[in-house]
Amino acid sequence: MELLAQFLGIEGARMIVGLIAVIALVSVNALFLIWMERKVAAHMQLRPGPMEVGPHGAIQTVADALKLMGKELITPDEVDKPIFWLAPIVVFLPVLLSFLVVPFSQSWIIRDMNVGIVLILAFSTLSVLAILMAGWASNNKYAVLGAIRSVAQNIAYEIPLLITVMSIILMVGSFKLSDIVAAQSQYWYVLLQPLAFIIYITCATAETNRAPFDLPEAESELVAGFHTEYSGMRFALFFLAEYTNMFIASAIATVLFLGGWHGPFLPGVIWFLLKVYALIFLMMWFRWTFPRVRFDQLITFAWKILIPLAFANLLITALVLKLR
Amino acid sequence: MINYFKEIAVGFYSLLAGMAVTIRYFVKPIVTVQYPRQQLTMSPRYRGHIELLIDPETGTHRCIACEMCARICPSQLIQVEGVKLEPKKKVPLKYVIEYYYCSLCGLCLESCPTNALQWSKEYLLANFHREDSVYDILVRLQEQQRAAGLPVTPIPEPPTEEQLAEMAAKEAQLAEAKAKAAAKKAAAAEAPAAEAPAAEAPAAEAPAAEAKPAEAPAAEAKPAEAPAEEVKE
């Protein structure tokens, strides 16, 4: 660390160490989340889930990942090759970059930018571009349909998401994630903005393409949606991006509504991770409770209910702040 | 406008209700059985193949090799052979079922005069070969006795000619004694009654009793023949 600091300066060393930590966190998180999802799904259906590899199937995902690494990377003849190859990288980079500004605790931030929340929202939209690239380049009707759905869905859900985030920003007066968390040292914003929290969670579920909004990859309708033609490690990258996206979305929700690292007794990082995984559990819980919505229902829900409610919430927030 | 908010409220409530259902199931104990390591205990009404019941008093089976089960079986899948090595005590020396024919009708259990049969709780009844579904339930009984720590009931050998002859002699002796006793009884009954119709009845009984021992050796000869048949197959 000190040697690195000599060469690159404090900030540079922080970046390098942070990047290594983030890559480790991303892989461990994905391995854990896939296992957790299978366990949650199983227990909701009175099954035990994976039990064979490791205690309670704990390293089942490691075995699966090893298998995926050993698989052939198939590139079909008719695909648009450069875009086809680029899409898995493009889907993975923004989620990696989002970790730059996530405040795990007071001091555990790689780079505490003053536009933190904007950066995350901007990059998370990039993954939709990657999905569009993957679907279009695959030259497959199911993949294209999945990609089209993803784009339409994203346009519908970015708006209420941004508006709810806006109402929190109005209250704090800063885009800096550490400022937002620091402002919640007394009480969490979920108490002041319950409606915004509900809208945010709904939009985050749609944003991460999770059930009941998993239309882009609806396996019963579109084979596997946008990643139908992908195999091996390229498919694994999409998978990794999906689960890391869940983590990022839950981390933002924790920062905006659940008071980030604040909490008694335990250190800040533990509190942060506890809240994040509780929110991820909530999203898994959604997945195994709600059936997938039809496409027109999804758009109607976004434009007719979520956006008006989010606007009303923003207006009321602004009014209360002005009158106070 | 009111309808709009009402719809949202009702929709939101229904979502919460659905989530309540899933979380209730989430905390319920799982029902999956980790099959090769765990196995189900079957319900008392479960019907596997038939097996011999272990009499809790004697620690062995109650079968008297009467062949009622074999006779009533609609698929004729039961083969019973008995041997009588002691008077009045016939024991099975072979009880084989060809389970692949069985329709689980339960007539064998119902017809058994000594209630010697019961349904086993065996449910791993899938096999690769037809021959694997032929069960010798006398051997099975021995295994169960071994598992329960009870003395194992030996399966008698098919009797030799000498044994059969000996048995026939014993039977004849016994029948003679019985006939004598019957005659005595009849005589005793005759004396006080002293009426013609009453006297006739015991007299008719006596020849019937005498006829029995003559039949018995013929029945005994059967098991000796049976093994020969098996070889032919």
* pLDDT tens digits along B132-189: 888 888 888 888 888 888 888 888 877 777 777 887 787 788 888 888 888 888 888 7
Are A127 and A89 a contacting pair, CB within 8 Å? Answer: no
Please state the rounded mean pLDDT for residues B65-72: 89
**3-state SS, residue A229:** coil
pLDDT tens, residue by residue, A38-77? 888 888 888 888 888 878 888 888 888 888 888 888 788 8
Which amino acid is it at A77? D
* Residue A2 pLDDT grade (very low, low, confident, very high; cuts 50, 70, 90): low
* Interface check B8 vs A, CB under 8 A: yes
Asked if B23's CB is within 8 angstroms of A46's CB, the reply is: no
- On the question of pLDDT at B204 being above 60, the answer is no
CB pairs under 8 A between A and B: 38
> In the 3-class helix/strand/coil scheme, how is A41-98 assigned residue by residue?
HHHHCCCCCCCCCCHHHCCHHHHHHHHHHCCCCCCCCCCCHHHHHHHHHHHHHHHHHH
Q: What is the pLDDT of residue B192?
A: 64
Structure tokens at A72: 């052939």
Lowest mean pLDDT among A191-200, B121-130, B196-205: B196-205
Structure tokens at B18: 């659905």
> Cα B29 from chain centroid?
38
Asked if B22's CB is within 8 angstroms of A44's CB, the reply is: yes
DSSP states of chain B as a string? -HHHHHHHHHHHHHHHHHHHHHHHHHHSPP----TTT--PPPPTT---SEEEPPPTTTSS-------HHHHH-TT--EEEEEEEEETTEEEEEEEEEEGGG-----HHHHH-TT--EEE--------SSGGGGEEEHHHHHHHHHHHHTPPPPPPPPPPPHHHHHHHHHHHHHHHHHHHHHHHHHHHHHHHHH--HHHHHHHHHHHHHHHHHHHHHHHHHHHHHHHHHHHHH-
Which amino acid is it at B152? V
Q: How far is B40 from chain A (nearest CA, A)?
A: 15
Q: How far is B25 from chain A (nearest CA, A)?
A: 5
The nearest alpha carbon in chain B to A39 belongs to: B26
Q: What is the pLDDT of residue B195?
A: 54
Which amino acid is it at B138? L
How many angstroms separate the CA atoms of A258 and A255, rounded? 6
Q: How far is B223 from chain A (nearest CA, A)?
A: 53
Asked if B32's CB is within 8 angstroms of A285's CB, the reply is: no
**CA-to-CA dists, residue A153 to A132, B142, B186, angstroms:** 12, 70, 105
Asked if B19's CB is within 8 angstroms of A305's CB, the reply is: no
What's A204's DSSP letter?
A: H
Please state the rounded mean pLDDT for residues A179-208: 85
Q: What is the pLDDT of residue B193?
A: 59
Q: What is the pLDDT of residue B221?
A: 46
Asked if A46's CB is within 8 angstroms of B25's CB, the reply is: yes
- Residue of higher predicted confidence among A169 and A225: A169
Name residues 25-84 of chain B within 8 A of A (Cβ): 25-32, 34
Q: Which residues of B touch A51 (CB under 8 A)?
A: 34
How many angstroms separate the CA atoms of A245 and A243, rounded? 5
Closest CA to B98 of B46, B136, B47, B140: B136
The nearest alpha carbon in chain A to B23 belongs to: A44
How many angstroms separate the CA atoms of A27 and A19, rounded? 12
Asked if A51's CB is within 8 angstroms of B19's CB, the reply is: no
> Cα A172 from chain centroid?
23
Q: Which of A47, A195, A198, A289 to mutate to test the interface with B (most CBs of B within 10 A)?
A: A289
* Interface check B189 vs A, CB under 8 A: no
- On the question of pLDDT at B217 being above 60, the answer is no
Q: How far is B48 from chain A (nearest CA, A)?
A: 27
Q: How far is B18 from chain A (nearest CA, A)?
A: 6
How many angstroms separate the CA atoms of B214 and A68, rounded? 82
Name residues 169-188 of chain B within 8 A of A (Cβ): none
Q: Which of A37, A45, A283, A309 to mutate to test the interface with B (most CBs of B within 10 A)?
A: A45
Q: Which residues of B touch A285 (CB under 8 A)?
A: 19, 22-23, 26
Asked if B15's CB is within 8 angstroms of A305's CB, the reply is: no
Q: Which residues of B touch A57 (CB under 8 A)?
A: none
- Residue of higher predicted confidence among A4 and A200: A200
pLDDT tens, residue by residue, B164-173? 788 778 778 8
Q: What is the pLDDT of residue B161?
A: 77
Please state the rounded mean pLDDT for residues A234-253: 86
Radius of gyration of chain B (CA): 30
Tokens 């019961």, located at residue = B118
Q: What is the percent of chain A with per-residue pLDDT over 70, rounded to a whole number?
A: 97
Q: Is the Cα dihedral B73, B75, B77, B81 positive or negative?
A: positive
Q: What is the pLDDT of residue B219?
A: 47
Radius of gyration of chain A (CA): 20
**Contacts for A99 with CB less than 8 Å, ≥ 6 apart:** A18, A22, A25, A26, A110, A248
pLDDT tens, residue by residue, A251-307? 888 888 888 787 787 777 888 888 899 999 998 898 888 888 888 888 888 888 889
* Residue B58 pLDDT grade (very low, low, confident, very high; cuts 50, 70, 90): confident
Entry pTM: 0.72
- On the question of pLDDT at B98 being above 80, the answer is yes
Closest CA to A50 of A30, A36, A67, A29: A36
Q: Is the peptide bond before B197 cis (omega within 30 degrees of 0)?
A: no
- Residue B203: HSE in the Cβ half-sphere, 13 Å Cα cutoff: 6
Q: What is the mean pLDDT of chain A?
A: 84
Contacts 24+ apart (CB under 8 A), B62-65: B62/B114, B62/B115, B62/B116, B63/B91, B63/B92, B63/B95, B63/B114, B63/B116, B63/B117, B64/B90, B64/B91, B64/B92, B64/B113, B64/B114, B64/B116, B65/B90, B65/B91, B65/B92, B65/B93, B65/B95
Please state the rounded mean pLDDT for residues B194-204: 51
* Interface check A47 vs B, CB under 8 A: yes
**CA-to-CA dists, residue A321 to A172, A223, B72, B118, angstroms:** 10, 49, 91, 81
Q: How far is B34 from chain A (nearest CA, A)?
A: 9
Q: What is the percent of chain B with per-residue pLDDT over 70, rounded to a whole number?
A: 82
Q: What is the pLDDT of residue A5?
A: 67
Q: Give this complex's ipTM.
A: 0.74
